[in-house]
Chain A
């Protein structure tokens, strides 16, 4: 069993240690996806790569946006923009729990001092048509990660099964660093010449986006954008696989999926604006799910999705 590491001193050190740890375990350390998403799962490196038969191992930070969670930077724990750390390994290795516990040790959480528990929590994403079984991981009664064995994504059975780990970085870091309000958390080394706290970087943006998300976002335009993204996604997928320019077989799964991500975020914004009624809500979720399914259908028709051209 590895010696517990000295405690990290800042938010970014925790991220760097996770990057080093999972890189050391053989994961490709990717960069965040360049679109607005509600959770790390939406990154195509998870959603799409969990599909098909090809092996995969990736880890990355993903900035995530949940417009309804905006609290103008005042709530100690809630943010409309926050970071998730995401690990996806396919097929799930038999020692994934041990690997995960190793990552806790790497950031200074020693399970001989802390009470680490795997508590039943089944994961479901109605917008992605995805579900899996697993746990929320508790450390001293606090949920620090979500641990899921993907069973289905986009309506497709996952074969092989991917193991997915999601760390809520702010919450985890606040716990490790002993901070009570997220805005007080040191972002860089507190001994640096210019020490920056989380609040120095994000308090203002939390205020701006909270106001925007709740009051300013133009709903008519958002509704229109939702329709556009939906239509564009379907249009992209309606092209025949054969590309006349290159003469190659090119299924445009990723560009279509970008539109699905867009539609999902637009829905979240509309939800925050409070203009979607309870009954309409289900219908919108169903529309995003329909897109996710079509993108999943398309991805498994690509090489990365395990498609093998039939030899005549």
Chain B
């Protein structure tokens, strides 16, 4: 069984696109081969800045012949039907067979596809893959019409087995497949031919190309760590940067340099960001002080001077960059110490959204809301308001202008420089969090208040102006904001009455700001927006809890209960219910409850009355019936205090005690007797079961 080697050699492929491109190549080619009837044992894809490579092992030499029979129209069917059938099969009328089928004569098409040689299939599949390659951005070059990420220079397409290798004949836009490639742009020895994947890989290595990105990553990481260690420093881990740098070099050569003392006073994050963004440098930290004192750059060449000129050049560029950063930092610090009033004024002329006003207006809204939320999260209202007023001022600082990803963090440094309370500084840093699902949730009360206010203001504002997310479109990241609120609330056990909070905030927006509502239904736009927003929170909460393993129907059962706008309470109830339902008592109790509820509902529908008058034990006829009365009394006595303390587990434990009496009751007692008084009493008793159980969670919504 032959192996197949494909290499698409081009000018430099952007580093960020390489990982997906090699997987795309593998998928497009292997899918194509399999669809055409070939099979293979294994496939591996590789990439360097100048090549995408696919190695397939154990490919079949030809596809299996396929015989397909298709039944067509009856011979007496209208001509159009026959014509359609001929079109779809690609046959002529005299190629069809006529067979007896039940009581009629029917046309049959027998299509035989002979097996095809692998080479023929590979040529087709590869051309299709190249022409339809899903690059995020592609281009033309020269006079050709082919599109590729950068000019495609050569194609290597080779089948090999023990007896030798053959080029798969194919051509795309004038580029004919061959068996040659090139090594490193500068250190390689020109074009060379290869005979198999092993030969290819070995010759590349000789020509200073490491084919496997993960190998290059390992070499970079190992080399950089060693260099840092030898210099008494430790490398700052950065997986994203490592992957990117591995995509920028074919032959990684890490070099370590020192940061000029003049820049060591810059915050470590500034050094790190500047070096990473502009220069793709790794940072090296002094383990004793935690300061960033060195950098590692990764060259693509083994220079004769051991990298002296390269390091000197990089150092020079870094000095220019850090001089800029230092200039920004010192100017910003001066501004911060002067009270940041210039930044505050500046934000008045920065538009947040044309229907939601300037950044300054937005900050005023967030500050108002933060003060209202503060007591609910254990923060001082005045400090929360102050923090919200300061938190976004760094947007006008020079440093954030240069490095937007440092927003918040610079706010913290500048708040500290301004001599503001530490809680205010922390809130500046943390109020954007959590951004991603794995991002940590702030816990400092002032930070929590500002973070919640920031997100709730955004959500309420965009809801008011009818810019809600639709389908895959969520340009203002409102889903993320809602998830942020959910995680802030749950992570801190905050008790936030969302409906009243949203309503009172909207009354403020309505009275004190220029926001104009649109896209609501009915007259009461504030009530409508609150309800719609709460539904949005609940949707996001369901997604969030589903990831945590809580069932959809369990959440629905809890959403139907009062206080569902208190997300902490809601989740507490759902967690207890889920645990309850996975216990044996819970499962059985649910069966008993459902039985009681079904009989009761049917009777209520049939009789047109509600049986809620309160059952009387004096009409009980059997011990089992009397025992159920007693059990319900006990359960109610236990549930009331448990619910008061929001101890849902205890409440559900009390309900679980009903399982045996309910089962015994249904075994021994017939609900529908001729004695109408006894029957009514028993239905009223069932009602008590329903009332007791649904007082804890709406079990009618639970599946099973």
Per-position binary interface string of chain A over residues 145-159, scored 1 when its CB falls under 8 Å from any chain B CB and 0 otherwise = 000010100000011
Q: Which listed segment binds A: B57-65, B134-142, B611-619, B623-631?
A: B134-142
The interface residues of chain B lying within 8 Å CB-to-CB of A279 are 351
In whole Å, how far is B218's beta carbon from the nearest beta carbon of chain A?
21
Interchain residue pairs with CB less than 8 A apart (27): A91-B142, A92-B141, A92-B151, A93-B142, A111-B301, A112-B186, A113-B309, A114-B303, A114-B310, A115-B301, A115-B303, A115-B313, A116-B186, A117-B249, A118-B11, A120-B12, A120-B15, A133-B137, A133-B139, A135-B12, A140-B311, A140-B317, A141-B297, A141-B314, A161-B139, A161-B143, A163-B141
Interface pair B314/A140, CB less than 8 Å apart: yes
B153 at the interface (CB under 8 A from A): yes
B248 at the interface (CB under 8 A from A): yes
Interface pair A111/B142, CB less than 8 Å apart: no
Interface pair A94/B313, CB less than 8 Å apart: no
Which of B49, B139, B141, B299 has the most CB atoms of chain A within a 10 A radius of its CB? B141
Write the residues of chain B forming the contact surface with A, with a CB cutoff of 8 angstroms: 11-12, 14-16, 49, 137-143, 149-151, 153, 185-187, 248-249, 279, 281, 297, 299-301, 303-305, 309-314, 316-318, 320, 349-351
The interface residues of chain A lying within 8 Å CB-to-CB of B313 are 114-115, 139-142, 175
Interface pair A111/B351, CB less than 8 Å apart: no
The interface residues of chain A lying within 8 Å CB-to-CB of B317 are 140-142
The interface residues of chain A lying within 8 Å CB-to-CB of B150 are 133-134, 149
Interface pair A112/B141, CB less than 8 Å apart: no
Tell which of A114, A118, A151, A278 touches B139, judged by Cβ atoms closer than 8 Å. A151
Interface pair B248/A117, CB less than 8 Å apart: yes
* Bound Cα distance A160, B151 (Å): 13
* Bound Cα distance A111, B187 (Å): 10
* Bound Cα distance A120, B15 (Å): 8
Interface pair A119/B309, CB less than 8 Å apart: no
The interface residues of chain A lying within 8 Å CB-to-CB of B248 are 117, 119
A77 at the interface (CB under 8 A from B): yes
Given contacts A114-B313, A133-B138, 5 further A-B contacts (CB under 8 A): A117-B12, A117-B249, A120-B12, A142-B314, A151-B140
Interface pair A113/B305, CB less than 8 Å apart: yes
Q: Which 10 A-B pairs have the closest CB atoms?
A: A140-B313, A120-B14, A118-B12, A141-B314, A160-B143, A115-B299, A133-B139, A91-B142, A91-B143, A142-B317
The interface residues of chain A lying within 8 Å CB-to-CB of B49 are 118
Question: Smallest CB-CB separation from A118: which chain B residue?
Answer: B12
In whole Å, how far is B191's beta carbon from the nearest beta carbon of chain A?
13
A132 at the interface (CB under 8 A from B): yes
Question: Smallest CB-CB separation from B14: which chain A residue?
Answer: A120
Taking CB atoms and an 8 Å cut-off, the chain A residues in 142-195 that contact chain B are: 142, 149, 151, 158-161, 163, 175, 180
Question: Smallest CB-CB separation from B17: which chain A residue?
Answer: A120
The interface residues of chain B lying within 8 Å CB-to-CB of A159 are 140, 143
Tell which of A118, A122, A140, A180 touches B310, judged by Cβ atoms closer than 8 Å. A140
Question: Smallest CB-CB separation from A132: which chain B residue?
Answer: B139
Taking CB atoms and an 8 Å cut-off, the chain A residues in 79-131 that contact chain B are: 91-94, 97, 111-120, 122
The interface residues of chain A lying within 8 Å CB-to-CB of B151 are 92, 94, 149
Question: Smallest CB-CB separation from B255: which chain A residue?
Answer: A115
Interface pair A120/B16, CB less than 8 Å apart: yes
The interface residues of chain A lying within 8 Å CB-to-CB of B16 are 120
Question: Smallest CB-CB separation from B145: which chain A residue?
Answer: A159
In whole Å, how far is B224's beta carbon from the nearest beta carbon of chain A?
15
* Bound Cα distance A202, B140 (Å): 41
Interface pair B140/A113, CB less than 8 Å apart: no
* Bound Cα distance A175, B309 (Å): 11
A241 at the interface (CB under 8 A from B): no
Question: Smallest CB-CB separation from B186: which chain A residue?
Answer: A111
* Bound Cα distance A118, B248 (Å): 8
A26 at the interface (CB under 8 A from B): no
* Bound Cα distance A112, B317 (Å): 20
* Bound Cα distance A111, B188 (Å): 13
The interface residues of chain B lying within 8 Å CB-to-CB of A113 are 303-305, 309-310
Tell which of A140, A141, A149, A278 touches B141, judged by Cβ atoms closer than 8 Å. A149
Interface pair B142/A141, CB less than 8 Å apart: no
Question: Smallest CB-CB separation from B149: which chain A residue?
Answer: A133
